[in-house]
Structure 1
Amino acid sequence: MNKFRETLSIVFVSVITITAQNTDSLFNNFWSAYSFSEQERIVSEEKPLILKCGTNHIYYLKNNFDKLNINQQNKIASILQRPSTQKSLVSPSGYFRIHYDTTGIHQVGYSLTELAIAIDSVYSFEIDFLGYPPPPPDGIQGGDDKYDIYIQDIGSIYGWTDFASTSNSTSFMVIDNNFDIHYTKGIDGAKVTLAHEFHHAIQVGSYKYRSEDSYYYELLSTSMEEFVFDTINDYYDYISGYYNNPQAPFYATFGGGYDLAIWNIFLQNKYGYDIIKRGLENVVNHSALNAIALSISEYGGSFKEDLAEFGIWNYFTGSRAKEGKYFKEARFYPKVKPLMNMNFRPTSETVTVNSNPSSNNYLLFVDFSRGLPDSLVAIITNCDYQSKARTEFSYTLYSFNASGSSQINDLFYSSILSNNRQIFLESVIFNNELAAEGRTERLEIDYAYPQPFNYNKHSYVFIPAAADQSGKSSLNIYTIGMDLVFSGEKNIFATDKIVVRWDGKTANGERLPTGVYVYVTKSGDTVKKGKLVIYNE
């Protein structure tokens, strides 16, 4: 996580400085990443500050070159031009020319053959399959009218797209020569960068680029990495920016837009790929957030309702992921961090939040009145996308049917008070189930699930336990020959079933061989026994 915080800091600073027109800070931000070397990391024993994409930095520095001092201008001038390289090759499709060096600091550290095949795959997916128009040809720049990709040592930056104007523009791409100090290294780092930067080329080639909407172009390009190269998952390194701060406004999250690739993944799951393309078409004449809302309405949806549903999807991640529902890769995502965490004291609890527009606010209440703790998460969605003003609301949770309240389940009621009540929606998770779908009683069961437990598909297996005031249960796992392979104390998990959860590993973190195992739990004086099947493929 330390690495992520350093990654996050450089992205977030860049968003602030561009808005503030602070050229010194922006230059220093870019230069510290560009000039960072692996040798510097070894000597300093510090992790690099990773800059995911330098596109907006390059655009800003080119357009504000006269505001830089002489020393800064001398450093950056050559970077703002097309690089000169020793050799070039044409991709198998004939559309791309890849410029590279075979010796010196810019020498390529991965397979050029794989790279050429990868960029053709990017073109096939983004142009042929998704239907985006190709970037316009640049005449004879780079030697001919093929799209130019330059491979350079650019420190801890993944890459950038350099373009001439903000619409209908030619462009070229620069990517790192080895990806040795990045989250995703080598050829895989190069592949996702190609998918990312080529979509920037599409954005400026046929649509509209606005620096103030840079978060939108970054979430769009980052989502393309996942769509084109599903198995690489470089975007995992950035999504904690959103999950740690979901209460931030959509247009100013803590990850500069890279953390919001999950939004496009959500849209694609719900509507298909075309809605994402339609959003880019709408951004020509509308701000990014208005363009997103407009495209959703054109597909029969509502931004207000979708943002609230997005909040639900983002709750069911990590160990809370549900097989076959919500995000396909949810078990690899971090858990969302609540804005507030409090114990519920009957008969009511009230909190007041000065909420950001276009945000999800997670309020966690824990109630011990029934012995085992009940958890209730109220997701209050501020659906305002037409304003940048904060709006205050008061949320009250009741254990009785108070006047003006709405029923959550047979245990709780709630109310939201605000001067602008219509912009808010409420979703409630009770004991890790949607309140609208779940039950309030906890059931004792006599089976473990999922069965079989597969390390490649599941994060945890849930094992029967009995209710106990301590909230704890011992867990022992044996082979079929009754050899002990795991022993420990577990929290009784907050769900509609009384269970403990286990990751299928020994106390040393080792996976077990495929086979049948015996579980034994003891909660107070109650013992439960059974069998479970583990697959270690």
Structure 2
Amino acid sequence: FSENAVSSNPLRYTAYMKVDNNFVGPYFTHGLDALRVTIAHEYFHAIQFAYAYRDMDLFFFEMSSVWFEDLAYDGVNDYLQYLPKFFRELHFPLHLQNNWHEYGAALWLKYWLAHRDLRSLRRMWEKLQTMAALKAIQEEVQEQGVEFPEAMAEFYSWCLYTGPRHQAGQYFPEAEAYPTVSYRLERAVPVDTTIVDSVRALSARFYLLGIDSRKSISVILNASDQPFWRILGVPQKLSGTLGQTVAKKGPSPYLLKASDNEGSVVLVAVNGALPDNVQVPALSLPLKKYEIAINAIADDFFSVYPNPLIVNDGAALRIAFQLEQSDDVQISIFSEQGNAIFHRDMGMRQAGFNQFNWDGKTDEGEMVSSGIYIVLLKPAQGAAQAKKVAIIRP
């Protein structure tokens, strides 16, 4: 309760807290421990109100106070009660306010502050005086030299290593007590398949897929606002334990070699974009469509995507390839009858992942007709490789 005004500029009040609860009954925590975390939680709210208050930012008030109560009384772990539902709702935006999700979202702060100065949270609150909480979080993350989508992707990767999959000394210190993520899809899939799905900003979808263990695969995520997306790939061992997470940005492929493929892989599609309008309620944000293309590859990786290519304004065939060492590369495209229609001398390309986008036009600038075409990749130091692609003109 606010009490007496101490000053008007800045506006300051004395305040007090009244607790009238014996914490008996359907509470997760009881007795003095319940009193301790309640006082810590509400005390931190009193501090927050000295900075700013907006209804749309209540999620940040609650996630911060839950984080603080656990910092103050680390052994109580009252926050664990919020995690089962939170882990089932990772496909909902981080800032969802539904009287439960925002409490579980304290886990994001536990991730962010695990290896950082705690003053990072204070700086977020200082920024909140002049901007929405989501923008304050984003700005602080970026000022620490981290891309915001990268931070979101890392957070969701931490969420994989919980319960029986926890790894001692890594990720969340109390991860063994956490629930596990809910998979959107959990079944065997053929290679050379595409998953089409959608998710809102600041959320993720998790997939556990059975994959032919004899093959190397590439996984590419394609979405309209590509720079804000990440695809996470994690091989799952026969024992059920998880390997190391690899995060890939935009159209860069996640590659899983046959030697590391034991028949299962976890894929996570992360939409790390900040909403265009941060005042829109989380569940009113539009679902953003994406595609995950899973293809069998040779270890000297070369792929074309999408296949088929539907030619329209802005459409392009992504020709992606992996080089063991820097090399001169040429790309040629032929009709099914063997007629050369396009050639590009790529020059010296760096070792590692490379990509070229073909707009479906011939060397003369004319759009090709519908049909089957052959894409030929020819490095100077290695064997040429060819892929077929279907072109469809609506």
Counterpart of 1:382, as a letter, is N
CA contact (8 A) 1:168 1:207 kept: no
CA contact (8 A) 1:176 1:190 kept: no
Corresponding residue to 1:342 among 171, 180, 187:
187
Q: Residue 286 and residue 395 in structure 1: after superposition, are their counterparts in 2 closer, same or farther (change >3 A)?
A: same
1:139 correspondence with 2:4: yes
Identify the residue that residue 366 of structure 1 maps to in structure 2.
210
Please identify runs of 4+ aligned residues in structure 1 that moved more than 3 A. 137-140, 167-172, 368-373, 404-408
Corresponding residue to 1:385 among 263, 274, 277:
274
Identify the residue that residue 110 of structure 2 maps to in structure 1.
265
Q: Residue 398 and residue 210 in structure 1: after superposition, are their counterparts in 2 closer, same or farther (change >3 A)?
A: same
CA distance in 2, matches of 1:349, 1:380: 16
Identify the residue that residue 126 of structure 2 maps to in structure 1.
281
CA distance in 2, matches of 1:377, 1:291: 32
CA contact (8 A) 2:162 2:180 kept: yes
Counterpart of 1:397, as a letter, is I
Identify the residue that residue 298 of structure 1 maps to in structure 2.
143
Identify the residue that residue 308 of structure 1 maps to in structure 2.
153
> Normalization by structure 2: what TM-score?
0.58
Identify the residue that residue 249 of structure 1 maps to in structure 2.
93
CA contact (8 A) 1:279 1:291 kept: yes
CA contact (8 A) 2:303 2:321 kept: no
Identify the residue that residue 232 of structure 1 maps to in structure 2.
76
Counterpart of 2:19, as a letter, is I
CA distance in 2, matches of 1:226, 1:311: 21
The residue matched to 1:294 in structure 2 has which SS?
helix
CA contact (8 A) 2:184 2:206 kept: yes
1:172 correspondence with 2:23: no
Counterpart of 2:94, as a letter, is F
Counterpart of 2:112, as a letter, is L
Q: Residue 188 and residue 349 in structure 1: after superposition, are their counterparts in 2 closer, same or farther (change >3 A)?
A: same
CA distance in 2, matches of 1:253, 1:305: 23
1:465-524, Cα deviation, whole Å (9 max, x unpaired): xxxxxxxxxxxxxxxxxxxxxxxxxxxxxxxxxxxxxxxxxxxxxxxxxxxxxxxxxxxx
Q: Residue 352 and residue 282 in structure 1: after superposition, are their counterparts in 2 closer, same or farther (change >3 A)?
A: same
The residue matched to 1:402 in structure 2 has which SS?
strand
The residue matched to 2:66 in structure 1 has which SS?
helix
Counterpart of 1:279, as a letter, is M
Q: Residue 363 and residue 195 in structure 1: after superposition, are their counterparts in 2 closer, same or farther (change >3 A)?
A: same
CA distance in 1, matches of 2:187, 2:96: 27
How far the C-alpha of 1:328 sits from its partner, in A, is 0.6
Q: Residue 407 and residue 230 in structure 1: after superposition, are their counterparts in 2 closer, same or farther (change >3 A)?
A: farther
1:172-201, Cα deviation, whole Å (9 max, x unpaired): 323342111210000000000111000000
Q: Which moved more, 1:314-323 or 1:369-378?
A: 369-378
1:318 correspondence with 2:163: yes
How far the C-alpha of 1:406 sits from its partner, in A, is 6.7
Larger RCO, structure (CA 8 Å, separation 6 or more):
2
CA distance in 1, matches of 2:201, 2:13: 33
1:192 correspondence with 2:93: no
Q: Residue 208 and residue 407 in structure 1: after superposition, are their counterparts in 2 closer, same or farther (change >3 A)?
A: farther
CA distance in 1, matches of 2:319, 2:202: 24
The residue matched to 1:197 in structure 2 has which SS?
helix
How far the C-alpha of 1:300 sits from its partner, in A, is 2.2
CA contact (8 A) 2:120 2:140 kept: yes
CA distance in 1, matches of 2:138, 2:3: 34
Give the gaps of 5 or more residues in structure 2.
216-237, 239-261, 277-284, 305-317, 323-352, 356-394
CA distance in 2, matches of 1:138, 1:313: 43
Percent identity of paired positions between Structure 1 and Structure 2: 27
Identify the residue that residue 62 of structure 2 maps to in structure 1.
218
Q: Residue 267 and residue 406 in structure 1: after superposition, are their counterparts in 2 closer, same or farther (change >3 A)?
A: farther
Corresponding residue to 1:333 among 172, 175, 178:
178
1:355 correspondence with 2:219: no
Counterpart of 2:293, as a letter, is T
Identify the residue that residue 402 of structure 1 maps to in structure 2.
303
Alignment of 1:475-514 (within 5 A): none
The residue matched to 2:115 in structure 1 has which SS?
helix
CA contact (8 A) 1:218 1:256 kept: no
How far the C-alpha of 1:320 sits from its partner, in A, is 0.8
How far the C-alpha of 1:268 sits from its partner, in A, is 0.9
How far the C-alpha of 1:390 sits from its partner, in A, is 2.6
How far the C-alpha of 1:251 sits from its partner, in A, is 1.2
CA distance in 2, matches of 1:379, 1:169: 47
1:349-374, Cα deviation, whole Å (9 max, x unpaired): 21112210011221221125559662
Structure with the largest fraction of helix: 1
Q: Residue 407 and residue 258 in structure 1: after superposition, are their counterparts in 2 closer, same or farther (change >3 A)?
A: farther
Q: Residue 322 and residue 407 in structure 1: after superposition, are their counterparts in 2 closer, same or farther (change >3 A)?
A: farther
Counterpart of 1:344, as a letter, is V
How far the C-alpha of 1:253 sits from its partner, in A, is 6.1
Counterpart of 1:402, as a letter, is S
Q: Residue 178 and residue 319 in structure 1: after superposition, are their counterparts in 2 closer, same or farther (change >3 A)?
A: same
Q: Residue 302 and residue 289 in structure 1: after superposition, are their counterparts in 2 closer, same or farther (change >3 A)?
A: same
CA distance in 1, matches of 2:115, 2:320: 28
Counterpart of 2:183, as a letter, is P
CA contact (8 A) 1:290 1:386 kept: no
CA distance in 2, matches of 1:320, 1:186: 32
Structure with the largest fraction of strand: 2
CA contact (8 A) 1:241 1:253 kept: no
Counterpart of 2:43, as a letter, is F
CA contact (8 A) 2:161 2:167 kept: yes
CA distance in 2, matches of 1:220, 1:169: 22
CA distance in 2, matches of 1:362, 1:168: 46
How far the C-alpha of 1:168 sits from its partner, in A, is 4.9
Please provide the CA RMSD for this pair: 2.8
Q: Residue 405 and residue 243 in structure 1: after superposition, are their counterparts in 2 closer, same or farther (change >3 A)?
A: farther
How far the C-alpha of 1:327 sits from its partner, in A, is 0.6
CA distance in 1, matches of 2:12, 2:204: 36
How far the C-alpha of 1:212 sits from its partner, in A, is 1.6
Q: Residue 335 and residue 256 in structure 1: after superposition, are their counterparts in 2 closer, same or farther (change >3 A)?
A: closer
Alignment of 1:1-150 (within 5 A): 138-139=3-4
